Amino acid sequence: MIESYNLVVFKENNKTKLSVFAHDAAHAQAQALDIARSLEADKFELVYGLNKVSRLSDLYRRLAYSDFKHQECFEWKGPVTNQVPSVYAVGKRFYIRPLIQGYLGLDKDKVVKNTCKNPKCINPYHNHYLNNKNSKLSGGDVQMALAFRSQGASVQQIAKALNVHRTTIYRTLKNECVPIGDQDH
């Protein structure tokens, strides 16, 4: 059975009220911690009951229950800033993709890049987390490149497998301090 909770998140002199849906109090508490982390909150209060269900509440519910399909875009129906899905909470504007990144506890230093090319899509399965804005490879892609290389794959083979130019692989291997042999030039 799913229960309803009221979550009030505080940051400096601002607060935001959200509904949280959970199986039990422990699940609600865990979600509250994740939500507070993503909103960079100073503190929060969680009580039994129901608030108005906002778009942000619904987003966190979907994240908590992994309610996204891999193949389908999930378009944000809320505010958009510079053609990027956004929301206002605790007196601050947040872009939705980095907000999801914070909720999931992923490295905040990574740049979130939408892979489906739908600017309103916020499906977490359609995001790659890159080391910098101009990266062509996600963290997982870099690990794949290193694995391929350790198995003796050439730069050309790795580039073809990851669908990038060979210079991207050269640069990645160099940054990861992996030797490049004469056969790769």
Residue ranges matching CATH 1.10.10 in the chain: 139-184
Q: List the CATH code of the domain at 139-184.
A: 1.10.10
This prediction's pTM: 0.73
Q: How confident is the prediction along the chain (185 residues), in pLDDT tens digits per residue?
A: 788 999 999 999 999 999 999 989 999 999 999 999 999 999 999 988 877 889 999 999 999 999 999 999 999 999 999 999 999 999 999 999 999 999 998 887 778 888 888 999 999 999 887 776 667 787 778 888 888 888 889 999 999 988 889 998 888 888 778 777 655 65
Alpha carbon distance 134, 147 (integer Å): 23
Q: Give 100-107 contacts, CB < 8 A, sequence gap 24+.
A: 100/38, 100/59, 100/63, 100/124, 100/127, 101/38, 101/127, 101/129, 102/37, 102/38, 102/39, 102/40, 103/34, 103/35, 103/37, 103/38, 103/60, 103/63, 104/34, 104/63, 105/34, 105/37
